[in-house]
Amino acid sequence: MAGTDNSKDMTIGGPAIILVKPQLGENIGMVARAMLNCGLSRLWLVDPRDGWPNDIAWKTASGADVVLDNVKVFQTVEEAIKDLTLVFATTARPRDIVKPIVTPEQAAIEAQAVPDEQVGFLFGRENWGLDNSATVLANKIINIPLNPAFSSLNLSQAVLLVAYAYLKQSQNTPAEYLSTRRDHDVANQESLLQFYERLEGAIEEHGFFSRVEEKRELMQHSIRSIFARNQLSNQEVNILHGILSALLKIRRPGSKKSQK
């Protein structure tokens, strides 16, 4: 199940997503899609209401066929989880079971510490509920902290949040980075300084600084800072030069301080 010929493919597999008594094929398909979005491909069904395979699932999976084609079906939760060592039950907080409750993010951290094939996430039927008989079998309960006044999630949405937390935990995506076009060669400081100096020279010539002479340095810093924040590409610096040239050409015929 590891990535094959597609260079963009990531290794997929991961822990099992286990749907207990799912009712609608549409939802099974949407779960498959959400799983594959997050690089998970092991979908297990316990006693699906409409049997399996269910054609409707393939229609709503938007191409996540690799997940549906490899579904395993079990008759009972006990049978499904028998080879697992770490089982999470994703459910609303149960009233009469005392068990550790974790966020999806904490579950992801703990799941990463165990081999994928030993981890499973249980989800109840569409109204996002698991029977207590299934919940008690789990090591821990995942409770997704939502708006307490409106916390009922669609099944595929619940799977998405758990799977996404798992994906994030296994990634090292930086929180912020700059979009990189293939042709985005970031301009070096020399190019930028040349532009700043040309710009500042031009506005100086137009009397800009004479009105704020005592704040010249402050103003200069402010101007440079506007452009410096952007990690401009060489192409963009060229564009700025072009704009400046155009502006200077337009103004040159007229008198330099005529406006205002």
Q: x/- string (CB under 8 A) for its own copies, residues 88-127?
A: -----xxxxxxxxxxx-xx--x------------------
Q: Give min distance, CB of 3 to its own copies, in A.
A: 7
The answer to whether the CB of 154 falls within 8 A of the CB of 60 is no
Check binding of 203 to its own copies (CB under 8 A): no
Site string for its own copies, 53-92 (x = CB under 8 A): ---------xxx----------------------------
Does 20 interact with its own copies (rule: CB under 8 A)? no
The residue from 30, 45, 87, 130 that contacts its own copies (CB under 8 A) is: 30
Contact 248, 206 (CB under 8 A): no
In whole angstroms, give the CA distance from residue 254 to residue 260.
13
CA distance 21 to 155: 12
**Distance in angstroms between the alpha carbons of the first and the last residue of the chain:** 70
Whether the CB-CB separation of 81 and 18 falls below 8 Å is answered with: yes
Cβ contacts of residue 28 below 8 Å, gap of 6+?
Answer: 19, 22, 43, 45, 48, 54, 56, 57, 60, 68
Containing 121, the helix (H) or strand (E) segment is strand 119-123
Shortest reach from residue 150's CB to its own copies, in Å = 5
Evaluated on CA atoms 148, 150, 154, 156, the torsion sign reads negative
Among 56, 146, 223, 247, binds its own copies (CB under 8 A): 146
Q: Which is nearer to its own copies, 148 or 253 (CB)?
A: 148
Q: Which residues in this chain contact its own copies in the complex, by CB under 8 A?
A: 3, 6, 8-10, 12, 30, 33-34, 36-39, 62-64, 93-103, 105-106, 109, 140-141, 144-154, 156-157, 160-161, 164, 167-168, 171, 173-182, 184, 230-233, 236
